[in-house]
Structure formats: structure tokens, C-alpha cells
Amino acid sequence: MGRPARSARVAEPLFSVGEVVKKLARNEHQLKKPEPRKEWWRTSQDRLSLSFVPDNVIGRESEALLLKDTLDGLLKADRGGAVYVSGLPGTGKTLTVKRVLGEVGCRSIWVNCASQGEPRAIYGTLCDRLKGITTSVSTEANLIATLAMKGEKTILVLDELDFLITRDLSLLYAVFELPKKCTEAIVIGIANSVDLPERLLPWLRACQSVPVVFPFRPYTSDTIERIILQRIEKDVIDLPAVKLCAKKTAAVNGDVRLALDVCRAAIESMKNKPSRPNSFIAEIVRIFESRGSVSGLRRTMENLPIQQQVVLCSFVSKLADQKQKEATLGSVYDEYQPMSLRAGTSSLTFGEFSNICSSSLTQTGLVEVAEAKLVKRKSAGRSPRRQLSLASPRTKLLRLCVGE
């Protein structure tokens, strides 16, 4: 049998060599290219962190403009001046002041009062920063001499001014009176206590050292929504979920840090889910329910000046002892005194203690102060005694303080 006849035709290749090379290169490129959605999630998470510095300060345009005008005016004048920026935590005070300082073109020294060992240490810190060297303890007189020696206007920013609240507020008065003693000084005080201007102003008015006051109101849900959208990439979180987060934050305390935190946590948890639904709404609700409201409360407490934190602790300690939700001011003050000694804070008089309870702490919504009905009857003839209680919707606070 003869062999089958071979075809004389040469088989044509399926691809040319050039095409194969191109195809391989294309495959390799596709393998290297990161999945875009993952990239967006990562950059969005980075941009939602508190260390991220945004391009614009959203919703504070008028405050920034007014502050810049005020500082420009003070820089041209042949005298010093003072500015007081007040508002609840997370309302953009620090960010706005930093942004405006970048525009005014004047030397400025920034001190965070929370990081000073004790309130009067600010004089030493300011002197050191002015001189660029570390010196021994300085006084107000040293600071005035150093400023005068420099002979040019200097903006002194005292952030977290609440930490300078001492027993008699004298340090705070001295800070705002500094420009009267030293024409080179422009003082900017930034504080979280919303009632501080009212407490300071009568005295400062009497001394004719009234600062220009800039109140920063809590953010509305619209502004919070814009701040979130500025930071997330390509609708990584869908709009209804962003709106919900903004609304819930505005309802808790308007602290934009809460909204940024919840969004970051929502992305973290969604990216680890095997099946990813399109909407973040359920996740946002879950995070607010599990920790959102508690972390809002915790943040409010952490941001209180140290003396107010001690007052709050003594109140909670008293309640934990009595297993009740109410206590008289006097009995809490008894608890407060040894606690304040242990904490190393200067002790408040009963009047100051009572003031803090009925103004600052009441404003945070953490406690309520009311006339004591039962006690009133017993103390007939004397002024009615007052009674502290936890603000009713916030009973979680008790659990939080006692449990942690």
C-alpha cells in the first residue's frame, strides 16, 4: 500500500508573529492594571481621614472672608488686637483659621493649649517659638519683651483655648489683654466652649479689651454632604447614603468628624464583603446604630475641658454609687472635691461648679439641672436646692462612663 499522498499546500499560521507579540503585551498590560474601583475606595478612604487637608473649606466662606478682613485691618493699625473664634468641636475652626493665616502674609505662632503641661506654660512655649530656642520658664513680661524686641506684628494663635480655663479665668483675661500692653501682638483664641465669650466679655468690656468674636455654628446636613462629596471618588458611596450620613450627623451634633469617620468605616466594611450591594444605606445605618451615636457622645465628652470632664466623672461616680439617675448638686460637689484633687486640676468653688453644670454641661446635652422637688419641701425657707440628672435620651452615657 502506498502512503497517502501529501498535500502540497503549506498550512497557513493562525496568527502572524507580530500579532502574537501584540496579544501577549495586551494581556500583560491588563494583568498589571489595578481594578479601578479598588483604587477609588482606597483614595476615598485616605481622603476621608482627619489628616487629609482639603483644597477648600466648604461652607465657611463668609467666616473666612470676615476673618481675613479683620486681620488685614489689625495688621494695618498701629495697635494690637484680639479675635475670638468659638464653636462646637468639628465645626472647621482650626481648618478655617489655618487657611486664612496662609493668606494674610504675617508671621504667626500656633500653640495648642491642650498640649501644655499646665496653663501658664503657654508663655514659655510662645517665647521659645518666637526666639527659636528653648528657654527656661517664661512669664507674661518675658513674652511682651520678646515681642517688642522683634518689633513687627505677630499673630499668636491659641487653639483649644478651653484648656486655659483656671479657677478665676485670670489667664484668659490676660491673654486677651495682651494686645493692649503690646502693640505688636494680635491674639487669636479658638475655643470649643460656646459659653466662654459670655463669661469673658463683661470683664473684657470693662477693660476695653473686647475681642472680635466669630461664632462657628454647627454644620447643616447640606454642608456636611458637600464636605463628604468633596472627598470621595466617583460616587464610591451612593448619593442617598451620603445624604443619610449627613442628616444623621447634623442631628447628633453637627461634628463633621463623625460623618467622615462613618463613611470611612462603611467603605472598609463594604470592600470586605463578598457580595457587594450597590447601596451603602444599610451599612451607614448599621454603623450609626452600633457606634455612631455612642462615638458622638464619647467625642463630646473627650472634647470637654479637663475641669468639666472631672465634674462629669464625679456626677457619674455619684450615680453609680446610688444606682440612681439623679443627685443633688451639693452631693455631687462633695464627690467632686476629692476627685479634682486626684486629677490634679485646680478646684472649682461651689458657684463655679454649679455654673459649669447649668451652662456648659447642660448645653452639651449630657446632663440636665432642675429644681429638686422632694428636697425643696424639706428645705422650706431656704433657697430651693437644685438637682442634676442625666438628660433622658442620653442614658447610654451612664453605661459608657461606668462600663469603660
Ligand X SMILES: Nc1ncnc2c1ncn2[C@@H]1O[C@H](COP(=O)(O)OP(=O)(O)O)[C@@H](O)[C@H]1O
Q: How far is the CB of 170 from ligand X (least distance, A)?
A: 25
- Contacts (CB under 6 A) with ligand X, residues 210-229: 227
One residue of 24, 38, 54, 402 binding ligand X per CB under 6 A: 54
Give which of ligand X, Mg ion, none residue 296 binds (C-beta under 5 to 8 Å, depending on kind): none
DSSP state letter for 186 = E
Q: Which amino acid is at 63?
A: E
Q: How far is the CB of 260 from ligand X (least distance, A)?
A: 6
CB 295 within 8 A of CB 337: no
Residue with smaller CB distance to ligand X, 314 or 364: 364
Q: Any contact of residue 114 with ligand X (CB under 6 A)?
A: no
Q: Which pairing describes strands 81-87 and 212-216: parallel, antiparallel, or unpaired?
A: parallel
Q: Any contact of residue 91 with ligand X (CB under 6 A)?
A: yes
What own/partner pairs with CB < 8 Å and gap ≥ 24 does 390-399 have? 390/319, 390/325, 390/326, 390/366, 391/365, 391/366, 391/367, 392/368, 394/297, 394/365, 394/366, 395/325, 396/293, 396/294, 396/297, 397/297, 397/301, 397/316, 397/366, 398/316, 398/319, 398/320, 398/325
CB 344 within 8 A of CB 338: no
One residue of 40, 43, 68, 95 binding ligand X per CB under 6 A: 95
- Contacts (CB under 6 A) with ligand X, residues 255-284: 256-257
Q: Any contact of residue 57 with ligand X (CB under 6 A)?
A: yes
Strand partners, 213: 84
Q: Quick one: which of 93, 24, 38, 20 has its CA closest to 268? A: 38
Q: How far is the CB of 62 from ligand X (least distance, A)?
A: 12
Give which of ligand X, Mg ion, none residue 92 binds (C-beta under 5 to 8 Å, depending on kind): ligand X
Residue nearest to ligand X (CB): 92
Pull the grid cell for residue 215.
Answer: 461664632
Residue with smaller CB distance to Mg ion, 285 or 301: 301
- Contacts (CB under 5 A) with Mg ion, residues 73-132: 94
Residue with smaller CB distance to ligand X, 165 or 348: 165
Q: Quick one: which of 123, 156, 155 has its CA closest to 142? A: 123
Interface contacts to ligand X, rule CB under 6 A:
50, 54, 57-60, 87, 89-95, 227, 256-257
Residues near Mg ion (CB under 5 A): 94
